[in-house]
Amino acid sequence: MTKVIDTLKNMNRDGKNIFSILQKNGPLTKAQIMDLTKLKLTTLNRIIKPIIDEKLIVEASIGESTGGRRPSLYDVNMTDYAFIGIDISRIYTQVIFADFKLNIIHKERFSMDSSYSPEKTVDRITDICKNAIHMAELMNKELIAVGLGTVGPMDIYKGIMKSPANFMSKGWTGTPIKEMLQKNLNLEVYMDNGANAAVTVEYLFGYGKNLKNIAYFNFGIGIRTGAISDGNIVRTINDAEDAFAHMVIDVDGEKCICGNYGCVECYSSIKSITKNFKKRIAMGESTKIQKSIDDINYIDISLAAQNGDNVSEEVIKKAAEIFGTGLSNFINLLNPELIILSGPLIMVSELFYKISVATAKQKCYLSKHSNIFFNRGGYFKENAISAGAAAMAIENLLRE
């Protein structure tokens, strides 16, 4: 028996195109498919038949009739197959199981402390997957492939994480993560950086659907950025996602982890917000946060900023103004129609989000001439990277 993954890979170009159209827009009638593909009915029937025989496309239901016999609707099979999407993001890992349309069937997440080496992380992911396939919602589904969204820089073809910064455990540099996962899960793994995964799923299935130019920013331990320009991912040499974070915003600014001075990263990441807050308290300023200084984190600062704590408010405002200034430069450069700001900091701090957007709008040249939409969290929220990783695995299969 041919494996489903091979059937998907071996479909001809028209077959892949029809499958992709149904995946994104189905259910559709044959007339609608013909309209979108410009194929004749005889050709469509010939191409679609083996895909229906393989149960990858199914007759979904009966459509609206305009008189006479009601036409059948076709769609991708959302019942029998599943993909795994993995998001390894320095302080947590999330694993999801999703159908062809990225509906999440099952999801698990764990935090990562300094004990989470690559080996321990992969073992934990393996355990999650091996247990999940026996659950009622997954036991009758065939797993097709795995998508991984993780931290760059990386070599996505060799499947190696090159030198990702800020993991709590040592040992992540040079990790052959793709091979490790493939061996343990016995499935093909496709990898990319987490921000590219997130922007892809928002573009194909989220708020970016029907747009051509969108950007996605994730505020976690670092600031991770992904962009789609005219329908294509904007790629960087090592598939790193932190290029934007090292945009210099203040030539006389603080020293950054990259060796330069005054990068966005120095002011606007979770790490910098916490550091800048603690520095001010250490210099003698007072805060209303009732915790010992070592225990104060970005959540405390974000909440205090909205409850009248002066130092917190100033640190968050400064962080957002600097990010918003960088964002205005980014907008001028890439002209996105939609900008999604997401990640733990954005979700906890409405103040940060609002000031970032206001600053970007005020300082950017383009916003005076065109409508740019901003969104907090995106459609996929905290699932964007893992769902995006699964979406990229499917896209790869339909491209190979």
d(Cα 78, Cα 60) in Å, to the nearest integer?
10
Nearest to Zn ion of 152, 159 (CB atom):
152
CB of 272 to Zn ion, least distance (A): 10
Question: Judged by CB under 5 A, how many residues of this single chain contact Zn ion?
Answer: 6
CB of 246 to Zn ion, least distance (A): 4
CB of 327 to Zn ion, least distance (A): 16
Nearest to Zn ion of 256, 345 (CB atom):
256
CB of 263 to Zn ion, least distance (A): 3
CB of 240 to Zn ion, least distance (A): 12
Could you tell me which residues come within 8 angstroms of residue 151 by beta carbon, excluding any fewer than 6 positions away?
88, 89, 90, 161, 164, 165, 166, 167, 193, 194, 224, 241
CB of 247 to Zn ion, least distance (A): 8
Nearest to Zn ion of 99, 241 (CB atom):
241
CB neighbour class for 281 (10 Å; exposed up to 12, middle 13-18, buried from 19): middle
Rounded to 5°, the CA angle 272-277-278 comes to: 100
d(Cα 142, Cα 312) in Å, to the nearest integer?
50
Which helix H or strand E contains 200, and what residues bound it? helix 194-205
Query: Helix (H) and strand (E) counts for the chain?
Result: 14, 15
d(Cα 165, Cα 173) in Å, to the nearest integer?
9
CB of 216 to Zn ion, least distance (A): 20
Could you tell me which residues come within 8 angstroms of residue 95 by beta carbon, excluding any fewer than 6 positions away?
84, 85, 86, 87, 107, 108, 109, 125, 128, 129, 132, 386
- Stretch 73-102: interaction string toward Zn ion, x if CB under 5 A: ------------------------------
Nearest to Zn ion of 323, 374 (CB atom):
323
d(Cα 172, Cα 78) in Å, to the nearest integer?
36
CB of 381 to Zn ion, least distance (A): 28
**Is 159:146 a contact under the CB 8 Å cutoff?**
no
Q: What b/e string do you get for 374-387 counting C-beta neighbours within 10 Å, with b at 16 or more? A: bbbbbbbebbbbbb
**Is 98:141 a contact under the CB 8 Å cutoff?**
no
Question: Applying CB under 5 A, does 322 fall inside the site for Zn ion?
Answer: no
Nearest to Zn ion of 81, 267 (CB atom):
267
CB of 326 to Zn ion, least distance (A): 11
Residues 113-142 that bind Zn ion (CB under 5 A): none
Residues 355-384 that bind Zn ion (CB under 5 A): none
What's the chain's Rg over C-alpha atoms?
Answer: 23
Nearest to Zn ion of 247, 364 (CB atom):
247
Nearest to Zn ion of 160, 258 (CB atom):
258
d(Cα 51, Cα 74) in Å, to the nearest integer?
11
Nearest to Zn ion of 145, 263 (CB atom):
263
- Stretch 236-275: interaction string toward Zn ion, x if CB under 5 A: ----------x---------x-x-x--x-x----------
Nearest to Zn ion of 86, 256 (CB atom):
256
CB of 353 to Zn ion, least distance (A): 23
Nearest to Zn ion of 126, 260 (CB atom):
260
Other Cβ atoms within 10 Å of 65 Cβ, number: 9
**Is 225:346 a contact under the CB 8 Å cutoff?**
no
d(Cα 104, Cα 177) in Å, to the nearest integer?
23
Binding site for Zn ion (CB under 5 A): 246, 256, 258, 260, 263, 265
